[in-house]
Amino acid sequence: MNTSPSNDDLLEGIILGLQNEIVPHLSNPKALATVQMMQSLLQGVRQTLPITDAHLVNEHNDMITTLSTTAETLGEAEGAAADRIRERAAIHAQRSPLPAPPDPVELVAAHRDLSAAIESTFRDLDELQRADVASADEAIQVVRTHLMPRYLRQVEAFSVGEGFVGRG
């Protein structure tokens, strides 16, 4: 019989295969713990598969807004870092919001590009804060406001039961 298992089916098969075929033959506690951690990581991947694309689309569209709002928040701040932030915002503000569901290759490429822009903006804001640019404090909060839900989604997706993946 020909089948077309989904990615979730394949991961579940690996988890069950480890449990049924490998674990019974392990006598070393360290090897057993390693297999259990591998199973937990695979389960975490299974939990993120159905939501990853939707999160990437939302983050993509939010990063465009975050970069523009950060530049606006800086106002007339001067300096190379402020100029880089405004330039980055102008470049990425030209992007169109992505629809759901997007082309997966385009989505990942756009998300990586915008994530790099957010990271660079965060470093430039740090430089502006160290130079005592008052508006940098408010602008960095714009970026943090964008990042916090991303971090929470990652923690939520990889939490299992009473602890994080690989811990019990």
DSSP 3-state assignment of 91? Answer: helix
Q: Write phi, then psi, for 163 (nearest 5 degrees).
A: -160, -170
Residue 71 contacts by C-beta under 8 Å, 6 or more apart in sequence?
A: 85, 86, 88, 89, 90, 139
Task: Give the separation between CA 118 and CA 106, rounded to whole angstroms.
Answer: 18
Residue 135 and residue 99 in contact, taking contact as beta carbons nearer than 8 Å: no
Specify the DSSP element, H or E, that contains 32.
Answer: helix 29-74
Q: Assess contact for 140 and 14: CB atoms under 8 A.
A: no
Closest CA to 12 of 3, 2, 20: 20
CB 15 within 8 A of CB 9: no
Task: Go through the chain and tell me how many residues it has.
Answer: 168
Q: What is the rounded radius of gyration, in angstroms, for the C-alpha atoms of the chain?
A: 21
Residue type at position 146 = H
Residuewise pLDDT in 10s, the chain (168 residues): 445 677 778 888 999 999 999 999 999 999 999 999 999 989 888 888 777 778 888 888 899 999 999 999 999 999 999 999 999 999 998 888 877 666 777 877 888 899 999 999 999 999 999 999 999 999 999 999 999 988 887 777 666 555 444 443
The model's pTM is 0.58
Residue 121: which of 93, 151, 95 has the closest Cα?
A: 93
Output the six-digit token pair for 111: 């998300």
CA distance 71 to 90: 9
